Amino acid sequence: MNEFADNQDVLDLSDFFSKIYKNFYLIAGLSLCFAFIAFGLSFSFDKQYESNAILKVTNSSQTMNPISSNSSLGAIATISGFSGSGANKGEYVMEVIKSRRFLETLLDKEGVLENLMAVESFDEESKSIEYNGFYDDETKQWSRPKKTLLLSLLGKNFITDKPTLLEAHEKYKNIVSIYQDRQDKFIRISVMHKSPIFANDLLMLIVSNLNSIESKKDFLESREALDYLYEELDSSILIRDATSKLIESQLQKQMLTQISDDYLLQYIDRSYIPERKSSPSRLLFLITGFFLGLFASFIYVFFYKEKED
């Protein structure tokens, strides 16, 4: 019985390779045809450039807590925000960068909204961006069609002439990628865009803007904390020493917000203007097209042509 099964397998394999041999030119021709079509199709996609950087969360935003957390005052300081310890700063950084509120601060910068929402192409010779019909670079005005039948069918009706924050956020999420490595805890961020210059500029703007926002926020919080602590300094002799240590911690925090540009994030590997495109990959299109053609030719040879014969 086993010998019969083995012979049957040999016959099946022999028949399989025989069909491939007989239809070799058909299979090869169809596979190459698909490959060249896919390769040609790759030229219809705009070039995309990726700028990336590696960052670490600095200790500037985390001042040392001078009071033991085991003491009752130390516990109160931790709850009140006077302690430098807390949740994973890396996760906090990633969520802030991905938030709509943070994007809103970026959109206040000149050139960000139009480069995010209205880029048609990038001229490699002049190193300049060409905008689509929705934005006039000379007048700095937006003009988008509203509620036409064709746009309704395409699902692209625009509510306002100028893109809204929610529209910009959808685009922003598609081009900005950020994650934290579980082992070294470094944060890796990348920006993909048609313009290599804007990709790099936006990434650097994200980092500098976040550092600026966090340093200003911590400075104001520290100033309010100091105002409170100075008022309480003379209220009780028993906690005067502990209060003095809290004041010292807040003064240190204020100092760091003023002297450090890399207050929250510091570069390990700084971003640069990319010299080569990241996508589309012509080779990947070619290989994918070839295997699609190979698959299609096999289906034709082993199913449809066999029925015809």
Q: Which residue has the tokens 């204020």?
A: 254
Residue 277 has pLDDT above 60, yes or no: yes
Residue 104 has pLDDT above 50, yes or no: yes
Alpha-carbon span 229 to 239, nearest angstrom: 11
Sorting pLDDT into bands at 50, 70 and 90, what band is 81?
very low
More confidently predicted of 128 and 145: 128
Q: Is 286 exposed, middle or buried (0-12, 13-18, 19+ CB in 10 A)?
A: middle
Q: Give the bridge partners for 49, in sequence order.
A: 193
Average of pLDDT values for 171-184? 92
DSSP 240: H
DSSP 47: P
- The angle, 0 to 180 degrees and rounded to 10, between the axes of the packed helices 89-98 and 100-107 is 60
Q: What is the dihedral of CA 221, 85, 105, 145, to 10 degrees?
A: -140
Sorting pLDDT into bands at 50, 70 and 90, what band is 61?
low
C-beta neighbour count of 203 within 10 angstroms: 22
Structural domains for the chain = 27-45+279-294 (no CATH), 47-215+265-278 (3.30.1890)
More confidently predicted of 87 and 180: 180
Q: Tens of pLDDT along 144-175?
A: 876 665 655 656 667 788 999 999 999 999 99
Does pTM top 0.85 for this prediction? Answer: no
Alpha-carbon span 214 to 260, nearest angstrom: 11
What pLDDT was estimated at residue 242? 73
**Which of 51-65, 66-80, 85-99, 283-297 shows the lowest mean pLDDT across its residues?**
66-80
What pLDDT was estimated at residue 62? 56
Sorting pLDDT into bands at 50, 70 and 90, what band is 31?
confident
